[in-house]
């Protein structure tokens, strides 16, 4: 398993820097973020992403079902949490109620939607928490990209670095993971990701049916966070390669979208 999956402080910093240098500028082409702005991050983990928004003066709210990661988030954001500039919840979004005081200018899902079952239902639920004129940011690895199955989380170094193995038939993939000594809980998580992985066209079809409007999109040949993980400079997919249905899923390592009602 890559060491940054274990080092939560390093992972927090990578999320923060990616948000500050890439996510925030992408959003701010269409939505100014500053004092008075409200931001909800779904699947926030340790809330490294939200640090970039706090620095702009936004009031932030992070939601994650993992109680231990929320506990770490409160530690990493101790001052802002005590000052109530950031709040957290482990409640399931489906049980949360939108109110005039609990709606947001921006909702962020970074590397989250590919883990969610029934994505159409979930994205529709998100719209309940938007203020008038609010936007939703999505970033995800298209399913067919080399590591779209998140196999980098494997504990076996041999298999963690093998591209496209998640595209094998489920029975073959499961047997391969088992033969390499992966723990049952890791195999289970990878199988869940295999059932929820999302492609570019699938995402765009869901958004159109909700219905939401795509305001902006960027496809990356090298995911921005790879700069902080591996020292690889972020590069956009260019020219005609942006417009090749299905094929572009195989070389796009990150898709950024900003959508609104």
For the domain that residue 250 is a member of, what is the CATH number? 3.40.50.150
239 near 198, Cβ under 8 Å?
Answer: no
What is the pLDDT, as a whole number, of residue 158? 81
Mean pLDDT, range 37-61, rounded to an integer: 98
Which residues are bridge partners to 236 per DSSP? 220
State which residues form the domain around 161: 151-196
Based on the domain organization, do 207 and 192 belong to the same domain?
Answer: no
Cβ partners under 8 Å of residue 4, min gap 6: 10, 11, 14, 229
Query: What is the tally of structural domains in the chain?
Result: 2
Based on the domain organization, do 76 and 180 belong to the same domain?
Answer: no
204 near 211, Cβ under 8 Å?
Answer: no
The pTM assigned to this predicted structure is 0.94
Based on the domain organization, do 174 and 78 belong to the same domain?
Answer: no
Which three-class secondary structure state does DSSP give residue 57?
coil
Q: What pLDDT digit, counting tens, does each position of 114-139 carry?
A: 999 999 999 999 999 999 999 999 99
How many residues appear in the chain? Answer: 261
């Amino acid at each position: 398993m890559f060491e940054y999956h274990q080092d939560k402080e390093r992972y927090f910093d990578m999320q923060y820097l990616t948000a500050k240098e890439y996510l925030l500028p992408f959003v701010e082409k269409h939505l100014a973020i500053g004092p008075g702005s409200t931001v909800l991050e779904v699947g926030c983990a340790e809330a490294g992403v939200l640090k970039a928004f706090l620095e702009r003066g936004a009031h932030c709210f992070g939601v994650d079902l993992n109680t231990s990661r929320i506990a770490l988030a409160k530690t990493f954001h101790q001052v802002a949490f005590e000052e109530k500039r950031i709040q957290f919840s482990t409640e399931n979004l489906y049980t949360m109620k939108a109110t005039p005081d609990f709606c947001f200018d921006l909702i962020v899902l970074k590397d989250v939607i590919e883990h969610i079952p029934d994505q159409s239902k979930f994205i529709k639920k998100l719209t309940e928490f938007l203020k008038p004129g609010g936007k939703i940011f999505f970033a995800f690895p298209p399913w067919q990209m080399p590591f779209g199955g998140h196999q980098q989380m494997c504990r076996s170094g041999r298999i963690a670095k093998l591209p496209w193995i998640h595209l094998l038939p489920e029975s073959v993939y499961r047997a391969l993971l088992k033969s390499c000594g992966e723990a049952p809980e890791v195999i289970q998580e990878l199988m869940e990701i295999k059932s929820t992985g999302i492609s570019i066209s699938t995402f765009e079809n869901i958004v159109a049916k909700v219905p939401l409007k795509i305001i902006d999109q960027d496809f990356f040949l090298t995911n921005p966070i790879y700069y902080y993980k591996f020292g690889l400079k972020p590069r956009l997919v260019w020219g005609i390669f942006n417009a090749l249905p299905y094929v572009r899923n195989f070389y796009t390592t990150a898709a950024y979208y900003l959508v609104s009602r």
